[in-house]
Amino acid sequence: VVYLEVNCDKCVSFGTGFIVSEEGHILTNAHVIEGGYVYARTYDGTIYRVQTIKSDRELDLALVRLVSAPKKFPMVRIGNSNKVERGDQITVIGNPLGDSRFDHSVFTGIISGINRVDGLLQVSVPTYGGISGSPVFDSNGRVIGVLAGVAPYVESEYVKVKNEVVEVQREKEAINIGLAIPINHARNILEL
Distance in angstroms between the alpha carbons of the first and the last residue of the chain: 20
In the set 60, 103, 112, 138, the catalytic residue is: 60
DSSP 96: G
Looking at residue 38, its amino acid is V
**What are the angstrom distances between the C-alpha of 169 and each of 54, 154, 161, 162?**
37, 6, 15, 18
Task: Give the containing element (helix H, strand E) for 30.
Answer: helix 30-33
31 has catalytic annotation? yes
Residue 104, phi then psi, degrees to nearest 5: 55, 40
99 has catalytic annotation? no
CB-count exposure of residue 129 (10 Å: 0-12, 13-18, 19+): middle
132 has catalytic annotation? yes
In the set 13, 25, 31, 103, the catalytic residue is: 31
CA pair distance 186, 176, nearest whole angstrom: 24
CA-CA-CA-CA dihedral for 20, 98, 32, 190, to nearest 10? 10
In the set 105, 112, 132, 134, the catalytic residue is: 132
Residues labelled catalytic: 31, 60, 132
